[in-house]
């Protein structure tokens, strides 16, 4: 798919990884719908940067844990007269919890956003792509392949997202392609010490952490290569091998 002139919806597209993807797609010539939940200020700042690149931007607030708000997100895009040619499911939460003490609320926060929200965004986008085709990229995690005992629900949610990727790729072909990206250590979390970040990244074969731009460029690759579907592309510095 040639991304120029297309419209891309990026969930969680206001900042960090989602923000980098939003800007990369704008650079490629896409008009961009930046979804956000609570990051209104950052969404506005990202929208200004997108428009500075000579393309259009629409910002839409929605809590993707709520099915009604997923529907409202797409209805807002419809009312604006925009198509959805590309969907990037980037919105996610990652919380540490213990397997034996995690409660129902903890489960719901993670599964409802990382998996249920992604499922229904994919469903709504695919319904709109039926005629003209499209490309969907789900942002997974190496945790879908390497179980993290400190993040059991996150690991489960991302494993489910990858199965969704494969099921949807088969169901929606040939008009719609669906792929996933599994990032490794990308951009130090604000809550993590520099010493701990260095410890993690020094264990990688490449001996360094990644940058959100590394993932953004992988998203562009999957959008533009029309002979790839149902695949997960690792952008992890070799993390899954160590």
Pairwise CA distance, residues 134 & 124, whole Å: 12
Instruction: Report, as residue numbers or ranges, the catalytic residues.
Output: 151, 158
Six token digits for residue 60 = 């839409």
Contact 39, 62 (CB under 8 A): no
Got the DSSP string for 166-217? HHHHHHHTTTEEEEEEEE-SBS--TTS-HHHHHHHHHTSTTSS-B-HHHHHH
Q: How many helices (H) and strands (E) does the chain have?
A: 8, 7
Q: How far apart are CA 173 and CA 154, in angstroms?
A: 28
Give the other-Cβ count within 10 Å of 41's Cβ. Answer: 11
């Amino acid at each position: 798919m040639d991304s120029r002139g297309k419209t891309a919806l990026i969930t969680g597209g206001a900042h960090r990884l989602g923000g980098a993807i939003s800007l990369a797609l704008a650079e490629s010539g896409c008009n961009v719908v930046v979804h956000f939940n609570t990051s209104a200020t950052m969404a506005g700042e990202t929208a200004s940067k997108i428009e500075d690149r000579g393309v259009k931007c629409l910002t839409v607030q929605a809590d993707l844990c709520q099915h009604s708000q997923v529907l409202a997100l797409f209805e807002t895009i419809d009312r604006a007269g925009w198509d959805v040619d590309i969907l990037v499911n980037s919105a996610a939460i990652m919380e540490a919890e213990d397997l034996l003490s995690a409660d129902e609320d903890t489960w719901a926060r993670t599964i409802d956003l990382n998996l249920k929200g992604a499922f229904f965004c994919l469903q709504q986008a695919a319904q709109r792509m039926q005629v003209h085709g499209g490309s969907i990229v789900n942002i997974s995690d190496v945790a879908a392949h390497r179980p993290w005992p400190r993040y059991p629900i996150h690991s489960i949610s991302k494993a489910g997202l990858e199965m969704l990727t494969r099921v949807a790729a088969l169901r929606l072909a040939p008009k719609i392609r669906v792929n996933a990206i599994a990032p490794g250590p990308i951009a130090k979390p604000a809550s993590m010490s520099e010493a701990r970040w260095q410890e993690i990244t020094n264990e990688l074969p490449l001996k360094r952490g990644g940058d959100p731009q590394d993932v953004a460029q992988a998203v562009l690759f999957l959008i533009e290569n029309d002979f790839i579907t149902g695949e997960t592309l690792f952008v992890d510095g070799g993390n899954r091998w160590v």
